[in-house]
Amino acid sequence: MRFSLSLFTCGFVALAACSGKHDAKAASGSDSGQPANGEVVKAPAKPHQPADSTIRSAPSTSNSDKGTVTSADIKADTAHPKLTAGRTAHDSVSYASAIRAGGRMMPKWPPGPAALPGSIFPATRIVAYYGNPHSRKMGVLGEYPEDQMLSMLDKTVAMWKAADPATPVIPAIHLVTVVAQGAPGPGGTYNRRESAKTIEQAYQWAQSRKGLLFIDIQAGHSTLQTELPLLMKYLERPDVHLGVDPEFYMHYKREGLRPSTKVGQMMSSDVNYVIGELDKLVAAKNLPPKILIVHRFRADMVPDAEQIRPTPRVQVVMDMDGWGPPWLKFDSYRDYIVSHPVQFTGFKLFYHNDVRKGDAVLTPVEVLRLLPRPLYIQYQ
């Protein structure tokens, strides 16, 4: 596991969360705590637009509400999947393997609760920009000036609309709101709670694009039971949703360890607690259903993920959160998302870490051929 460290303006040493989310060694099960080289490749000023920018896509609905496709669509789109020119043979083999695994899992996918009126999934895809404005290394939200970042988001959303015209796309800002820290801090919790000013700033960014805000919890030594109630006033808004990050949940076999030394862990009971609290909030405030994003790039981050229980009022996304070359991302999607089905799926793309070895960032068309088709797309 490799991480970078950065200094936040408040003076605490903070983890540059996910800037070095994982490499091939970590994905294969290594648990080293070696720090990463802080050097990164310069991000493209403009997201890459694939030449083949459209894909025949089925409506994002099915009898299992997983935003996936019929057997005819599988045959049409995935029988002979091709990657963008320049990908390696290893990439192609892993790509085909991931697609085959997804196709085999489709009939077995848990049906889940039927979508209520106002639900975003499965009819819509979300494309989100991730990070924290106080750190350049945590993602695009802190790396670029506001106007440039929002312009990039506009172009990225347009790229996904072009790739899958049948599925509407909603832009989103995904703010790391409780930030794991490399030092204990005054409360000994190894986290920093973001200010109301910063949260409102991120909310205004989302509103300026008629989009959504996700607030994300990296609890450190704190707990979800402690951190979630402090954010409920924001989640009362119909366009604010939630993310939780097991990587920085230092409990169970990671109890007492400093975030970044080992990959953290959540159990399904932790996730189900959050689902229950969101469900009660939606019912009490008569809100549209909430979305909960759970980040994952290793099996042991949520070892009993199949026991996560979405409700009609809370839609759950398991987000493939790892970085690396294309073959590794495909393997991770197959092994940690497809093989442990919950409800909806997500896929994370890194402007820097995915290109460290000279690879281009995966295009929407390449990602859209995976099965189930990811409905939550996150860029860092």
DSSP state of 39: -
In this prediction, residue 15 carries a pLDDT of 44
The C-alpha atoms of residue 60 and residue 123 are separated, in whole angstroms, by 5
The C-alpha atoms of residue 360 and residue 93 are separated, in whole angstroms, by 17
Instruction: Please state the rounded mean pLDDT for residues 299-312.
Output: 97
E strand or H helix at 6: strand 5-7
**What are the pLDDT digits (tens) for 344-375?**
999 999 999 999 999 999 999 999 999 999 99
The helix-helix angle for 89-105 and 71-78 (nearest 10°) equals 180
Flag whether pLDDT at 49 surpasses 50: no
Beta strands in 71-194 (DSSP E): 125-131, 169-180, 191-193
Q: Is the dihedral of CA 106, 109, 111, 117 positive or negative?
A: negative
Alpha carbon distances (Å) from 32 to 2, 36, 263, 318: 7, 11, 9, 24
Which domains can be identified in the chain, with CATH numbers? 5-30+69-379 (3.20.20)
**What are the pLDDT digits (tens) for 84-143?**
899 999 999 999 999 999 999 999 999 999 999 999 999 999 999 999 999 999 999 999
**What are the pLDDT digits (tens) for 180-222?**
999 999 999 999 999 999 999 999 999 999 999 999 999 999 9
Which residues does 298 contact at the CB level (< 8 Å), separation at least 6?
22, 26, 27, 29, 263, 336
The C-alpha atoms of residue 241 and residue 150 are separated, in whole angstroms, by 19
Closest CA to 19 of 347, 295, 246, 351: 351
In this prediction, residue 82 carries a pLDDT of 85
For residue 71, count other CB atoms closer than 10 A to its CB: 10
